[in-house]
């Protein structure tokens, strides 16, 4: 397994890496792998409506394709002090059991911000792992280096905030080998079969661990329900603001 080269990392029109390392206590690495298929946590944890969500597993790689828009009740899409957000597109892929490259683009009315996020981890023992993540950001044309680095740092801070929300879950998550799932939970079992190939000898790798597998989750229903939830939050906030004058 060769981890693909990231040409942007050596490109002067991209910022340097902004890295963070933390130890996650109380979880096996499998818990972070599970996130590859976890469509719903994007709404609750990363404050996004996942409009498109698809997984592809093949060989030693596991892909997650996600397009989303932000939650209006968390952050207005048209803030008074910033550009209008049109959403994000993300292609995140594990190459091997512990190294993920996420090409994550933030779309704004006045242009895109391209970022690359690396998420990697190694086990300390069955219940603890070290998580490292870093981000680089494309410098916008006409934006001074210093400003681009500041933007990267701000972006890294935002990603870090999102990751820390995941961390709070991993710190408290109990491993369940046979979870009861609904359709929108995604292909958890297929993903775990893919992951299992890294815990057996090469001669014991079976076709179901490496064969190409594709699954797109229909996110229509959950997004409809979440939209109602967000609108209720906004209405409640507006009512509170009216009441408090
Ligand atoms: Fe997450």
CA–centroid distance, 131 to ligand 1, in Å, is 13
Which CATH number does 8-243 carry?
A: 3.90.380.10
CA–centroid distance, 139 to ligand 1, in Å, is 25
The structure tokens listed for 142 are 């006409």
String of DSSP letters for the chain = --PPP-GGGG-TTBPPPEEEEEEEES--THHHHGGGG--THHHHTS-EEEEEEEEEEETTEEEEEEEEEE-TTTS-SS-TTSPPEEEEEEEEEEESSSEEEEEEEEEETTEEEEEEEEEEEEEEETTEEEEEEEEEEBPPTT--HHHHHHHHHHHHHHHHHHHHHHHHHHTTPPP-SS----GGG--HHHHHHHHHGGGS-GGG--HHHHS-EEEEE--HHHHHHHHHHHHHHHHHHHHHHHHT-
CA–centroid distance, 38 to ligand 1, in Å, is 8
- pLDDT of residue 6 exceeding 80, the answer is yes
| Residue ranges covered by each domain of the chain | 8-243
Give percent of the chain with pLDDT exceeding 70: 100
Per-residue pLDDT band at 185 (split at 50, 70, 90): very high
Per-residue pLDDT band at 75 (split at 50, 70, 90): confident
CA–centroid distance, 197 to ligand 1, in Å, is 23
Mark the residues whose beta carbon lies below 5 A from ion ligand 1. 35, 166
- pLDDT of residue 183 exceeding 80, the answer is yes
pLDDT at 118: 93
pLDDT at 55: 98
Q: Contact at 8 Å (CB) between 23 and 118?
A: no
The residue that leads in pLDDT, 97 or 24, is 97
Tell if the pTM clears 0.85, that is, is over it: yes
pLDDT at 9: 94
CA–centroid distance, 39 to ligand 1, in Å, is 9
- pLDDT of residue 77 exceeding 80, the answer is no
CA–centroid distance, 169 to ligand 1, in Å, is 10
245 Cβ neighbours under 8 A, 6+ residues apart: none
- The dihedral over CA atoms of 91, 118, 199, 34, expressed in degrees to the nearest 10, equals -50
CA–centroid distance, 157 to ligand 1, in Å, is 15
CA–centroid distance, 156 to ligand 1, in Å, is 14
The structure tokens listed for 162 are 């999102």
- Across the range 165-189, mean pLDDT stands at 90
- Across the range 64-68, mean pLDDT stands at 98
* Pick from 26, 15, 37: nearest CA to 168: 26
CA–centroid distance, 43 to ligand 1, in Å, is 10
Least confident window among 31-45, 46-60, 77-91, 181-195: 77-91
CA–centroid distance, 47 to ligand 1, in Å, is 10
CA–centroid distance, 242 to ligand 1, in Å, is 35
pLDDT at 152: 74
């Amino acid at each position: 397994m060769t981890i693909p080269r990231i040409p942007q990392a050596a490109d002067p029109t991209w910022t340097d890496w902004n890295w963070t390392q933390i130890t996650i206590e109380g979880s096996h690495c499998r818990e972070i792998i599970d996130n590859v298929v976890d469509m719903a946590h994007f709404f609750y944890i990363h404050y996004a409506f996942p409009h498109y969500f698809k997984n592809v597993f093949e060989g030693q790689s596991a892909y997650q394709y996600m397009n989303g828009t932000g939650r209006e009740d968390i952050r207005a899409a048209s803030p008074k002090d910033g550009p209008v957000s049109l959403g994000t597109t993300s292609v995140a892929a594990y190459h091997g059991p512990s190294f993920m490259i996420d090409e994550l683009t933030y779309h704004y009315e006045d242009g895109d911000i391209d970022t690359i996020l690396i998420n990697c981890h190694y086990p300390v023992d069955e219940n603890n792992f070290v998580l490292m993540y870093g981000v680089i950001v494309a410098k916008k044309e006409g934006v001074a280096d210093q400003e681009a680095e500041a933007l990267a740092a701000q972006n890294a801070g935002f990603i870090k905030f999102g990751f820390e929300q995941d961390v709070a879950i991993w710190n408290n998550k109990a491993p369940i080998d046979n979870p009861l799932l609904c359709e929108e939970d995604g292909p958890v079992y297929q993903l775990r079969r893919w992951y299992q190939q890294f815990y057996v000898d090469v001669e014991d790798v079976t076709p179901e661990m490496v064969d190409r597998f594709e699954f797109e989750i229909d996110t229509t229903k959950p997004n409809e329900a979440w939209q109602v939830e967000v609108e209720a939050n906004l209405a409640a906030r507006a009512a509170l603001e009216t009441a408090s004058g």
